Every structure is written in structure tokens, then in C-alpha cells.
Amino acid sequence: MPVAVEDVLAGNRLALARLLSQIENDTAEGRQILNELFPHSGQAALIGVTGAPGTGKSSLVNQIAYHYRHPADGRQPKRVAVVAVDPSSPFSGGAVLGDRIRMHSLSGDPDVFIRSMASRGSLGGLARATAGLVQAFDAAGFEIILIETVGAGQAEVEIARLAHTTLVVEAPGLGDDVQAIKAGILEIADILVVNKADRPGVEQTERALRGMLQLAHPGKRQYHHGRLISAPEPEEKPLNEPEWVPPIQRTVATEGNGVSELLALIDQHRDYLKQTGELARREAARLTAEVDLLVEAGLVDRWRRGLANGWYQEVLARVMNREISPRQAAAKLTASKREEG
Amino acid sequence: MSQEKIRVIVAKPGLDGHDRGAKVVARALRDAGMEVIYTGLRQTPEMIAEAALQEDVDAVGLSVLSGAHMALVPRILELLKANGQDKVGVFIGGIIPDEDIPRLAEMGVAGVYGPGTRTDDIVQDIQKFAGQKS
Ligand SMILES: Nc1nc2c(ncn2[C@@H]2O[C@H](COP(=O)(O)OP(=O)(O)OP(=O)(O)O)[C@@H](O)[C@H]2O)c(=O)[nH]1
Ligand SMILES: [Mg+2]
């Protein structure tokens, strides 16, 4: 059954759910609808939540969403969407997606929409699908979009590029995972959360994180490398611009302790992004990267279709035989006219 | 080359105990290449239908041990229908008396599985069902 753009914009949940499947499956229809929805997107706050398995990310997402739905200070409740990503099995391609188990306090609320997503095949595919889902939620009027991913791999970094604010969740007593976190995930953290603060070992975990932060942010003048995007060089920023040093917040996600404070930090970070122009810069960098990727893919595709039958294999065979170098092969294959020899 | 996956919710409605059986089925479905949204214990029909909607599933698998199936299942079917998801297949596993099976089938339940059912059979039925749909 085809999905109507108007239905998605009007808040029809079945239409939205079906669109999300179309986007995941990368169908022509899904692409078409995303094109039409794009002008309606760009309003939502995108919050990434990542960290090692079992640190309490889903429980925390549940609490954050709940707090946005039930603000303590009399503010307007926000419409909240959740994208929860879990890995696909490399053997069967299937997946068990269990993040919803921790999100029961959101059920029955028509202004919350939770979608579980399996990472499926490629990294590029996951990044594309996540971006598509987020764009659909954004256009459908969800103001807060929470994206949960597991771990600290390239996939999380890719997805963090999408988010405006990235929370990295730690928990005490997980052994050397603080070590693992060093390997780059700190780079993407805008806010560090020490969850399970009811457990012994919180101080140690927090101290370890503080130590690492010190390494990452030694001086006051340092520019915050919140993202691995081609952001402008530090020199381009006025020296008096404030620096964002990732704060550390303790939480007990099962109880809700520390969650209001966490929301305040998320809001502060968003204000910082807006005031410094960083939000616009990130958005520009992200959209540029997206267009570039599509252009590249399109060019490669057109080139492939223009290749004479067997020509590619022929040239490759000559490389294998060490007759021509890979560089010479590429020059031949991309030359506008096919030259023999 | 379709990237489509069969999506199934596995849920445990009602107030009774454990979800071991549900977990075994969830894993079997995953191993058959399906994407299983596992929602855990003590799910109300409303929660199950809401999850089915948001996740745009092809099928809902319910594990019912409490004997409350004759109350729970019609309610879930009704909610699915109200949400426009009348094509979603409902499969039930657990302890279901023989005399209830034809009544459940009449309501529109796609499959009923007693204790000792081979998970392969459930997998095949769901695959067949999802293939026939659309
Ligand atoms: N004691 C304590 N337990 C918690 C806290 N937060 C979460 N948990 C428990 O930790 C376990 C894992 O929680 P989840 O929220 O599923 O963690 P997750 O990081 O989403 O897990 P994955 O998605 O599997 O990586 C559950 O049993 C939670 O109840 C907390 O603050 N304190
Ligand atoms: Mg989780």
C-alpha cells in the first residue's frame, strides 16, 4: 500500500511506520517521499545516546523521553521519537531488537514514537537509513529525536555525526570498558553520563573519565572537536568564543535520578551550538557530505553503466599480470575515449 | 535485490511468570533471518498493538501460559484492526486447550503452537505467511 506524504505530515502513525520501512529498505517510493519531506525537516533536536552494551542506554532514553513529555517546570511537552539501533547477526542477517523492553513508561503516549532498527549490512547503509528515519521523524513534527546505538565503533561515530548532541554513557563495574572508551568515543561525546550511579565504583569511573577529558581538553583556549567532520579550523573562530568542555553527569536511569539535570545540560549544549553558530556549521557540513556522497555514487554508477562489456575485467587482468599499474588502469577505465594499448 | 526483512514482535502478554519460551522463539526467528522486536514480559494488548504499529511488523508472536488467551487475543486482534493492521499475522504459543484452537482460528489467528512445537515449524509458518501477504 503506497504511503501518502500528506498522511505522514498530518501525523498518521501507520503511514509514518510504513514510510520508515520503505526508508530502511531503500525503495524508490521511500526515496521519493523523503525528497518531498525534506523541506519540512530541520526543526528537531537530534540527540545521540551511545556507550558499551548494558550501560543503561535504553533505560536512560526512556527517562529522557519521559522528562521531555512531562516537564517539571511547566514548559510545553515536546513530541519525542526514538530510533534504537541494535546489531544484526552476521550469520543470519536477522536480529533480536530488545531496547523497547526498557521503554515501557512511554507506552500509550501518542506523541512518542519508538522505532527499533537492525544495523543490517553495510556501515554506509546504516548511516543512510538512520539519517532517513531521522529526517522522516523530523518532518512529521517530532521535536526531540533520540538515537540509541551500542558500542564505540565506526558506526557510532557515523551516527554521532548526525546528532547535534551526543551522550556517551558509562557505568561503573564494567571492568576495562573505560579503557575502551578512550579509543575515540570521547571525541564524539558532548556530554558524559555515568549511569548506574547507585552502584559501587562511581567515583572511580568518574575520576577516570575526568582524567581522560583533561587529556582531551588541556587548555581553555582549545577548540572543541565535537565532530570528526570537516569543520572550520580553530583559527577561524574568534578567540573569545566559549569552549564546550563535555560535562559529566551521574544518573540512575532505573529511578530517574539526575535526569532533570541531564536535560538541563542537553539544553545548555543546544544553546551553545546555536549561539556559536556551530549548529549551522555542523548542519552545513553534514548536508554537504551527504550531497557529495550521492554525487560520487551517482558518478560511479553512470561510469559503470557506460563501460563496454568486459573492458573492466580486461583491464583488471592486465593489472594482475603486472603489465600496467593500478593507476594506469584507473586512467584507462575513466578516460573519456577507450584507447587500446 | 530486495533488502526487505520479515519483522516480528515477540511479546508476553498477561501477568504470568517467565519468558523462556518466548526468548527461544525470538532467537530461532532471528537465526532464520528475521528482525525480532522483543518487548518482554507483562505486556498489555494496548502495548502490543502500539509496538506492532510503530515497528510496522508482518507478524505478532504471543506467548501465553496463563490461560488468559481467550480474553487477550480478541482484544489484540481488535486493536490491530483498529490501527489498520488487519494484515498482520498473529501467532500464539503456550498452553492452549485443544477446544480453543478452532475458536482462535475463527477469530483470525494464523497459528497456534503447543508445548513441544519445533521452532522450525513456527519459522516456516511465519515465512509462508509473510510471503503470501502483500
Ligand atoms: N542499578 C542500576 N541498574 C540499571 C541502571 N540503568 C539501567 N540499569 C539496568 O541495566 C540493565 C541494562 O539496561 P539497558 O537500559 O537495557 O542498557 P543498554 O545500554 O540499553 O543495553 P544494550 O542496548 O543491550 O546495550 C537493565 O537490567 C537495567 O535495569 C541504573 O541506573 N542502576
Ligand atoms: Mg539498549
Instruction: Return the sign of the alpha-carbon dihedral for residues A3, A5, A6, A12.
Output: positive
Which of A147, A254, A255 most suits a substitution to test ligand 1, by most atoms within 8 Å of the C-beta?
Answer: A254
Alpha helices in B1-134 (DSSP H): 20-31, 45-54, 69-82, 100-107, 119-132
**Given this model, what pLDDT does residue A221 score?**
36
Q: What is the pLDDT of residues A148-177, one digit of tens each?
A: 998 767 777 777 778 999 999 999 976 655
**Given this model, what pLDDT does residue A238 score?**
54
Q: Which atom of ligand 1 is nearest to the CA of A86?
A: 23
Give the closest-approach CA distance of B3 to chain A in angstroms: 5
**Given this model, what pLDDT does residue B21 score?**
87
ipTM over 0.90: yes
Cell of B84: 489498520
In chain A, % of residues over pLDDT 70: 87
Residue B63: CB partners within 8 Å, gap ≥ 6? B10, B11, B12, B19, B21, B22, B25, B92, B93, B94
Place of cell 540512575: A252
CB atoms within 10 A of CB A192: 26
**Ligand 1 center from residue A105 Cα (angstroms):** 15
Give the closest-approach CA distance of A29 to chain B in angstroms: 13
**Given this model, what pLDDT does residue A178 score?**
56
**Given this model, what pLDDT does residue A227 score?**
41
**Given this model, what pLDDT does residue A191 score?**
96
DSSP labels for A120-143? -S-HHHHHHHHHHHHHHHHHTT-S
For strand B59-64 and strand B111-113, is the pairing parallel, antiparallel, or unpaired?
unpaired
Least confident of A75-89, A141-155, B43-57, B87-101: A141-155
**Given this model, what pLDDT does residue A183 score?**
57
**Given this model, what pLDDT does residue A339 score?**
64
Cβ–Cβ below 8 Å for B5 and A89: no
Q: Are B85 and A14 in contact (CB under 8 A)?
A: yes
**Given this model, what pLDDT does residue B2 score?**
47
**Given this model, what pLDDT does residue A173 score?**
79
Measured between beta carbons, the chain B residues lying within 8 angstroms of A113 are 54
pTM of the predicted protein model? 0.89
**Given this model, what pLDDT does residue A108 score?**
95
**What 3-state class would DSSP assign to B71?**
helix
**Ligand 2 center from residue A23 Cα (angstroms):** 22
Q: Is the beta carbon of A282 within 6 A of some atom in ligand 1?
A: no
Q: What is the pLDDT of residues A230-258, one digit of tens each?
A: 344 454 555 566 789 999 999 999 999 99
Any CB–CB contact under 8 A between B26 and chain A? yes
Residues B107 and B86: their CA atoms lie apart, in Å, by 12
**Ligand 1 center from residue A252 Cα (angstroms):** 9
Q: Looking at chain A, which residue has its C-alpha nearest residue B3?
A: A25
**Given this model, what pLDDT does residue A114 score?**
98
Low-confidence ranges of chain A (pLDDT < 50): 220-233, 235
B7-133 — its CATH code? 3.40.50.280
**Given this model, what pLDDT does residue A341 score?**
54
**Given this model, what pLDDT does residue A237 score?**
52
Best residue in A24, A59, A100 for a mutation probing chain B (most B CBs within 10 Å): A100
Residues A20 and A40: their CA atoms lie apart, in Å, by 16
Cell of B54: 510503530
Burial (CB < 10 A; 0-12, 13-18, 19+), residue B31, is: middle
**Given this model, what pLDDT does residue B42 score?**
87
